[in-house]
């Protein structure tokens, strides 16, 4: 019987000496230490052994099991250590992994470019709260009480007196309240409008408002400033036009168009077959607005303008759907 145990031990010693991988060591465990392994089978035979030999047989099986288990654990640690060392080695001949560096969102890039252009033209940058009062968002900007923008279906009202601002023009009022003329400023920020979401409009977007107030300010200055901006942003070969329009806080008012980026002025669905696309609204500050900020309309004149960052980016980069700016599709963002 003892010779049988010696034979199993010799066989184990031979098997363990040939182990060189984790797979090999697993096969050793299965063969000797698993539920159906050699050691387990020896314990199963214990009930067949005569009563007087059970103690000696059990002792021999336990000694063999302890021997095999100890050698197995030592060998397993050795294999694991070796495997870990090999995996931690660095092959300096391999090409380096390309590190993907994040970038600013295309709208952030567009806004920063717009700000830099206007700062070079002498404008300062101011910001204001997104939660505004009815006074700053409408009343002080010469909106009549029955203006459609005051309706619930067009504006996100928080209460009767407070709302999510529909434009950044309220910051113009705040700037004029705190500063005496001359004032030359731009006011970037996010705005909110209760509009249906489609390829051309979204319920939230970013704007940049501009304001210049001083003595002897005229509409020609306004046009010159906006043309200078547009040519720096879109290129010197830009074609543009100004159309009469209406805004409650400017008089006279106009909208500035540039040639459609898709059809090059020939007419398409995006430009509604006109060949032109609007980029901003502008005009001379209405004298009624000056009364709210204690500016003398007989002494001071001013002009104001406003543009949507998303629309500006759409035109510059030839994008035909505003919704893609808000989807965070990495395939789109990586292009910029």
pLDDT digits (tens, 9 = 90+) for 227-243: 999 999 988 888 899 99
Tens digit of each residue's pLDDT (9 = 90 or more) over 170-192: 999 999 999 999 999 999 999 99
Mean pLDDT (whole number) for 66-74 = 86
For tokens 């980029």, name the residue.
Answer: 279
Q: What is the mean pLDDT of residues 63-76?
A: 84
Helix (H, G, I), strand (E, B) or coil at 73: helix
The confidence band for 270, taking pLDDT boundaries of 50, 70 and 90, is low
CB 167 within 8 A of CB 209: yes
Which of 68-82, 98-112, 129-143 has the highest mean predicted lDDT (pLDDT)? 129-143
Q: What does the pLDDT read at residue 224?
A: 94
Residue % of the chain over a pLDDT of 70: 94
| Residue located via tokens 């991988």 | 21
Tokens linked to 120: 């070079």
Q: DSSP H helical segments within the chain, as ranges?
A: 2-17, 22-28, 38-44, 51-87, 106-120, 134-137, 170-178, 219-234, 287-292, 309-317, 330-333
Which is higher by pLDDT, 331 or 208? 208
Give residue limits of the domains in the chain: 2-87, 106-333
Residues of the chain above pLDDT 90, percent: 39
Question: Does the pLDDT of residue 197 top 90, yes or no?
Answer: no
Q: What is the pTM of this model?
A: 0.67
Phi-psi group of 189: left, alpha or beta (phi > 0 → left; psi -120 to 50 → alpha; rest → beta):
left
Phi, psi of 81 (to 5 degrees): -65, -45
- Please give the backbone phi and psi of residue 149, each rounded to the nearest 5 degrees, phi first: -65, -20
Element at 97 (helix H, strand E): none
Least confident among 68-82, 142-156, 236-250: 142-156
Per-residue pLDDT at 87: 61
The SS3 of residue 259 is strand
User: CATH assignment of 106-333, given 3.20.20.10, 3.30.930.10, 1.20.200.10, 2.120.10.30?
Assistant: 3.30.930.10
Nearest to 202 by CA among 43, 124, 314: 314
How many residues in total does the chain contain?
A: 336
pLDDT band, residue 85 (cuts 50/70/90): low
Residue 213's H or E segment, with its range, is strand 204-214
Distance CA 179, CA 18 (A): 88
The whole-angstrom distance between residue 210's C-alpha and the CA centroid of its chain comes to 27
pLDDT for the residue 86: 61
pLDDT of residue 113 exceeding 60, the answer is: yes
pLDDT at 225 over 90: yes
């Amino acid at each position: 019987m003892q010779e049988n145990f010696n034979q199993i031990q010799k066989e184990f010693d031979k098997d363990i000496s040939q182990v060189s991988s984790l797979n090999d060591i697993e096969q050793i465990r299965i063969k000797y230490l698993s539920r159906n392994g050699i050691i387990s089978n020896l314990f199963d035979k214990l009930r067949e052994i005569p009563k007087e030999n059970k103690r000696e047989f059990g002792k021999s099986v336990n000694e063999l099991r302890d021997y095999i288990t100890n050698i197995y654990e030592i060998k397993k640690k050795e294999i694991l250590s070796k495997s870990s060392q090999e995996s931690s080695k660095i092959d300096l001949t391999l090409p380096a992994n390309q590190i993907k560096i994040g970038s600013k969102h295309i709208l952030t890039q567009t806004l920063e470019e717009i700000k830099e252009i206007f700062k070079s033209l002498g404008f300062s940058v101011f910001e204001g709260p997104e939660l505004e009062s009815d006074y700053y968002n409408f009343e002080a900007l010469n909106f009549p009480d029955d203006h459609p923008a005051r309706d619930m279906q067009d504006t996100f009202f928080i209460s009767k007196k407070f709302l999510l601002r529909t434009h950044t023009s309220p910051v113009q009022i705040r700037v004029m309240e705190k500063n005496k003329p001359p004032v030359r400023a731009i006011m970037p920020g996010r705005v909110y409008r209760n509009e249906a979401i489609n390829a051309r409009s979204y319920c939230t977007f970013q704007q940049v408002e501009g304001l210049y107030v001083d003595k002897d300010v005229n509409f020609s200055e306004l046009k010159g400033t906006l043309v200078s901006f547009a040519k720096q942003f879109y290129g010197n070969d830009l074609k543009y036009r100004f159309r009469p329009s209406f805004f409650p806080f400017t008089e006279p008012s106009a909208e500035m168009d540039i040639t459609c980026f898709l059809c090059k002025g020939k007419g398409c669905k995006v430009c509604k077959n006109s060949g032109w696309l609007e980029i901003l609204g502008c005009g001379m500050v209405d004298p009624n607005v000056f009364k709210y900020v204690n500016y003398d309309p007989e002494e001071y004149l001013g002009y104001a303008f406003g543009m949507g960052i998303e629309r500006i980016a759409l035109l510059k980069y030839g994008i035909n759907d505003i919704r893609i700016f808000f989807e965070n599709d990495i395939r789109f963002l990586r292009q910029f």
